[in-house]
């Protein structure tokens, strides 16, 4: 009976330990893109950031992960963003990470050719 209980407990822990999903987002921006032409492959630096739960009930978000990636830079936009969401058995292992090419939307040309 104890052996069966130990096997069931081990299976429960193994199955509940975590899950990771990865997805892609074409564009995330905190700048003003209205009327501007965004290049398909902008030149820029690859940046990454994350936001994680710290205590039970604490939330974590995609926008905060993007803000953390851009923090301390002159950039306000990420493109070709890879998003990785991880959940785990323990709260601090619940995270969302972003990685993408950064650029400054103020340097983009307006759709009419004006800058």
What is the structure's pLDDT at 57? Answer: 67
Q: What is the CA radius of gyration of the chain?
A: 20
- Looking at CATH, the fold of the domain delimited by 18-106 is given as Translation Initiation Factor IF3 (3.30.110)
Q: What is the value of pTM for the model shown?
A: 0.76
Cβ neighbours, 10 Å, residue 82 = 15
What residue ranges do the domains of the chain occupy?
Answer: 18-106
The mean per-residue pLDDT over the stretch 33-61 comes to 84
Dump pLDDT digits (tens) for 11-28.
Answer: 566 556 678 899 999 999
Residue 67 has pLDDT above 60, yes or no: yes
Give residue 55's pLDDT.
Answer: 74
């Amino acid at each position: 009976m104890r052996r069966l209980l130990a096997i069931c407990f081990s299976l429960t822990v193994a199955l509940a330990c975590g899950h990771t999903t990865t997805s892609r987002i074409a564009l995330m921006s905190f700048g003003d893109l209205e009327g501007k032409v965004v290049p398909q492959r902008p030149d820029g630096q690859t940046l990454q950031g994350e936001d994680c739960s710290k205590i039970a009930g604490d939330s974590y978000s995609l926008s905060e992960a993007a803000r953390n990636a851009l923090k301390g830079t002159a950039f306000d936009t990420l493109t070709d963003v890879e998003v990785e969401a991880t959940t785990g058995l323990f709260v601090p292992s619940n995270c969302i990470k972003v990685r993408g090419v950064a650029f400054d939307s103020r340097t983009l040309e307006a759709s009419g050719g004006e800058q």
